[in-house]
Amino acid sequence: MGEPHVVTLRATRDGDLDALFTIEQDEAAVQMAAFTPPDPSDRAMFDAHWRRLLADPAIDARTVRADGEIVGSVARWYEDGTAEITYWIDRPHWGRHIATRAVRLFLDALHERPVRVRVAADNVASIAVLEKLGFRRVGRERSYANAREAEIEELIYRLD
């Protein structure tokens, strides 16, 4: 499986949630992301969370599609008035440069700067994506990560 021909973003809709829930069940991905809900397999919590996101005009949640297939998500919200983003790509599609393309598309359409990302210090693939897109590391802190059931080091990246 090489790189997809077309990577697109569309506003996340209710009909995408089954696919996004399935994508976010992968244990390796959950461990990598680290800062996940306490129980990623709790569908009621997932639905309640997404109902809040989709109803909040300050949150921009996009579904990532590769050649028409739902393969992940990118979202922006505000933390202390600063835009923060996160992203997730379905494991069978890792390494196809989909995250890099999807986040680049998202940032191209996002007029605010700076943009901040928090990432587990050992999430080398996510850090590689951020560095390719011009983010620089501006801080580090220790935070509790549900998936690791421990406090871990988190890096803060910023795009100005």
Dmax over CA atoms of the chain, in Å, equals: 41
Per CB under 6 A, 125 contacts ligand COA: yes
By CB under 6 A, name the one of 7, 9, 20, 33 that touches ligand COA.
33
What letter would DSSP give residue 113? S
Q: Which stretch binds ligand COA (CB under 6 A): 46-54, 56-64, 90-98, 147-155?
A: 90-98
Per CB under 6 A, 86 contacts ligand COA: yes
By CB under 6 A, name the one of 20, 61, 74, 99 that touches ligand COA.
99
| Cα torsion through 148, 16, 115, 33, rounded to 10 | 10
CA 93 → CA 1, 32, 62, 75, distances in Å?
8, 15, 17, 19
By CB under 6 A, name the one of 9, 74, 119, 145 that touches ligand COA.
119
Cross-strand partners of 63 = 10, 73
| Residue with tokens 């220790």, as numbered in its chain | 142
Per CB under 6 A, 124 contacts ligand COA: yes
Which residues are at the interface with ligand COA (CB under 6 A)?
29, 32-33, 86-89, 94-100, 117, 119, 123-126, 128-129
